[in-house]
Chain A
Amino acid sequence: MYGKGLRALSISTVVAMAAALGLVFFYAPLEAEQGFLQKIFYLHVPMAIVALCGFVIGGLLAIQHLRTRDARWDMRSYVAIHMSLIFAVATLITGSIWAKGSWGHWWVWNEPTLVSFLIVFLLYATYQPLRFAIEDPERQSRYASVFAVTAGAFVPMNFIAVRLSTAYLHPRVLGGTSNLPGSMAFTFMVSLVAMVLLYATLCKYELTAKHTRAQVRALRRRLSGETGTARRGRSAAPALTASAPSAVGSEV
């Protein structure tokens, strides 16, 4: 059931990505000051937005987990945060390249968005170690959810605090899409849609893979006899245990 719609989603992601890249390189005008380098904006900003939204969504899914105690919500929260972390690393790298290109430094402290992003990233970097350090799977998911909710609420608050702290603001394209010329804004929106689709597809792939693995393990356990309590190695990733046997369906 997790695999349903995966093909359609994958195809639309590929199409949207191709369209976005085509627009970026052949349609969007060269920016006057920064030239070709500015095109990284169409990659960097959508990734940052998706990563941050993913973190917040991870927190909302974690609330659902705490309310229902259903391990599937923890799995979704985990996948959302895990994928956002990967996007966040890419965001920091592209941001760094952009900073080097336009200001000559790999890192600039007077760009509040980038600084906030780093703080958020540092916080979420402890998500996996936290999970890994808790043996009991049920407590692991509950503690991880408490973390995810706290950190999810921290994301917007941190952005406000850091922005307040930086008196000096760069007048730049990042300020909003409203001051962009139409062709740039259009390209940006398409890139954003493509990035959202990419994120959703990757999340769905990971969920499907995890679900399939749980089913295989449940089947294998049933094959080796009910008593075979093959212990899983220590892991930071949640595992679905309860739902797998019922999903197998008919029993001979």
Chain B
Amino acid sequence: MRRTVGALLRKELLVELRTLESVPGMSLFAVTTFVVFHFALNRNSVDGDLAAGILWVTLLFAAILGINRLFVADADQGGFDGFLLAPVDRSAMLIAKVATLLAYLLAFEIVAVPAFGLLLLGPSLGKAMPQLLGVLALGDLGVAVIGTLVAALAVRTRARDLLGPLLALPLLVPIVIGGARASSPLLALGHHTALPGRWLVTLGLYDLVFGLIAYALFDFLLED
């Protein structure tokens, strides 16, 4: 199992390094979206609820870009068949893909979050950073799990570019609720209130439940 996940992860990262299709695209998209928000809202700086909303909506739409590409090479270049012919546990692919998407999300947030702090956010990011990282990590995990499940569901359909986002967005609403509500006090002007623990618990539980669902259902998406 570990060997298989390792082989799959290595393959994913090699393909990404060679094509640079996901992470750079997602990062650029996020930065551009912040610029668009500046003009659309006609605001030089944002804070609190508005800041959290902009941050999470941007992260979500950038993540959709990555989700849409996640299985394309496997579907179009016989990667599914090649994997299915090997005597390995099929869940390895789920784990490897979730890890890949999670790595993409974390890598692109290294660019996107500081860019947000620089371009739009009123209060300084420094003090809120450790707590914000925790919220982002929990949110990213949920996005990675749901994104992988949805990407596998949509990739072998005719309208995959459309179905992916349509399926993913409603399923990600609870993550946006949890993520945005948890980060809003962190991005507020002035005082820092304590991190609302119930949102972290909500996010964590949601991640866990969807992790189990994806684990139970993923095999059915691979076979023919």
**A residues neighboring B (CB under 8 Å):** 66, 119-120, 122-123, 126, 129-130, 133-136, 138-139, 142-143, 145-147, 149-150, 153-154, 157-158, 160-162, 164-165
**B residues neighboring A (CB under 8 Å):** 149, 153-154, 156-160, 162-163, 166-167, 169-171, 173-174, 177-178, 181, 198, 202, 206, 209, 213, 216-217, 220-221, 223-224
Q: Which of these, A119, A138, A139, A143, contacts B170 with CB under 8 Å?
A: A119
Q: Is the interface of B mostly helix, strand, loop or mixed?
A: helix
Q: Tell me, rounded to whole Å, the shortest Cβ–Cβ distance linking B216 to chain A.
A: 8
Contact between chains at A142 and B220 (CB < 8 Å) = yes
Contacts of B216 in A (CB 8 A): 149
Closest 10 CB pairs of A and B: A161-B174, A123-B170, A133-B157, A133-B158, A126-B166, A133-B159, A165-B177, A146-B217, A122-B170, A134-B157
Contact between chains at A158 and B209 (CB < 8 Å) = no
Per the bound structure, the CA–CA distance linking A149 and B220 in Å amounts to: 12
Q: Which of these, A123, A162, A164, contacts B167 with CB under 8 Å?
A: A123
Contact between chains at A135 and B174 (CB < 8 Å) = no
B212 nearest in chain A by CB position: A153
Q: Tell me, rounded to whole Å, the shortest Cβ–Cβ distance linking B18 to chain A.
A: 30
Contact between chains at A146 and B159 (CB < 8 Å) = no
A-B contact pairs, 12 of them (CB 8 A): A129-B166, A134-B158, A135-B158, A138-B224, A146-B217, A149-B213, A150-B149, A157-B174, A158-B170, A161-B173, A161-B178, A165-B181
Per the bound structure, the CA–CA distance linking A135 and B224 in Å amounts to: 13
Q: Which of these, A122, A129, A162, contacts B163 with CB under 8 Å?
A: A129
Per the bound structure, the CA–CA distance linking A81 and B174 in Å amounts to: 22
Contact between chains at B153 and A145 (CB < 8 Å) = no
Contact between chains at B206 and A157 (CB < 8 Å) = yes
Q: Count of A-B contacts with CB under 8 A? A: 81
Contact between chains at A164 and B173 (CB < 8 Å) = no
Contacts of A147 in B (CB 8 A): 153, 167
Contacts of A119 in B (CB 8 A): 170, 173
Contact between chains at B213 and A153 (CB < 8 Å) = yes
Q: Tell me, rounded to whole Å, the shortest Cβ–Cβ distance linking A129 to chain B.
A: 6
A116 nearest in chain B by CB position: B173
Q: Tell me, rounded to whole Å, the shortest Cβ–Cβ distance linking A219 to chain B.
A: 30
Contact between chains at B171 and A146 (CB < 8 Å) = no
Per the bound structure, the CA–CA distance linking A22 and B106 in Å amounts to: 60
Per the bound structure, the CA–CA distance linking A55 and B186 in Å amounts to: 37
Q: Tell me, rounded to whole Å, the shortest Cβ–Cβ distance linking A99 to chain B.
A: 20
Apart from A147-B153, A158-B173, A161-B178: 10 A-B pairs, beta carbons within 8 A: A66-B217, A126-B167, A134-B157, A142-B221, A143-B153, A150-B213, A157-B174, A157-B209, A161-B173, A162-B173
Contact between chains at A139 and B217 (CB < 8 Å) = no
Contact between chains at B166 and A161 (CB < 8 Å) = no
Given the known A-B contacts A139-B156, A139-B224, A146-B217, are A161 and B167 also in contact in the complex, defined by CB atoms under 8 Å? no
Contact between chains at B158 and A164 (CB < 8 Å) = no
Q: Which of these, A123, A133, A146, contacts B221 with CB under 8 Å?
A: A146
Contact between chains at A153 and B209 (CB < 8 Å) = yes
Per the bound structure, the CA–CA distance linking A162 and B166 in Å amounts to: 19
A135 nearest in chain B by CB position: B158
Q: Tell me, rounded to whole Å, the shortest Cβ–Cβ distance linking B72 to chain A.
A: 15
Contacts of A135 in B (CB 8 A): 158
Given the known A-B contacts A158-B173, A161-B206, are A129 and B198 also in contact in the complex, defined by CB atoms under 8 Å? no
Per the bound structure, the CA–CA distance linking A134 and B152 in Å amounts to: 13
